[in-house]
């Protein structure tokens, strides 16, 4: 099956620094990738839709200047958490869409901001 990777899988950073998370589709191309955030013991919440070659579309309540998304190629989307704060600590998961109905999910990145 299709594989989506995320890097890093786990990151700890100091408050005020920026962190970049990569999402790659390894054996297929994806014009659309999604970024989700999952707080402990909660469901996935869609943050934004990443479209190759165009600006990302953000869900209501998500600060686009804080969560920068770049979809530079058909196999790579990046999420940069700028000026991270402890409340940004979460599990970030990306997915790559194939067709209309199928999303392949990455293994997630756990971000801890001290």
Q: Which residues bind other proteins (CB under 8 A)?
A: 4, 6, 32, 34, 42-46, 49, 57, 91, 93, 95, 97, 100-108, 110
Smallest separation (angstroms) from other proteins to the CB of 109: 10
Beta carbon nearer to other proteins, 11 or 82: 11
Beta carbon nearer to other proteins, 38 or 82: 38
- Six-digit token pair at 32? 């659309």
Which distant-in-sequence residues (6+ apart) come within 8 Å of 99 by Cβ?
none
Nearest to 36 by CA among 45, 24, 25, 27: 45
Smallest separation (angstroms) from other proteins to the CB of 26: 13
**How far is the C-alpha of 9 from the C-alpha of 13, rounded, in Å?**
13
Smallest separation (angstroms) from other proteins to the CB of 94: 8
Beta carbon nearer to other proteins, 83 or 102: 102
Beta carbon nearer to other proteins, 15 or 39: 39
**How far is the C-alpha of 3 from the C-alpha of 15, rounded, in Å?**
32
Sign of CA dihedral 54, 87, 21, 99: negative
Smallest separation (angstroms) from other proteins to the CB of 78: 17
């Amino acid at each position: 099956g299709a594989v989506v990777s995320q890097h890093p899988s786990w990151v700890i950073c100091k408050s005020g620094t920026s962190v970049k998370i990569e999402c790659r589709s390894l054996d297929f191309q994806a014009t659309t990738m999604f970024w989700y955030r999952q707080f402990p013991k909660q469901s996935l919440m869609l943050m934004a839709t990443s479209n190759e070659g165009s600006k990302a579309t953000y869900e209501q309540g998500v600060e686009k200047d804080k969560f920068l998304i770049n979809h530079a190629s058909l196999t790579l989307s990046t999420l940069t958490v700028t000026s991270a704060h402890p409340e940004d600590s979460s599990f970030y998961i990306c997915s790559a869409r194939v067709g209309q109905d199928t999303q392949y999910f990455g293994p997630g990145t756990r971000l801890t901001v001290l």
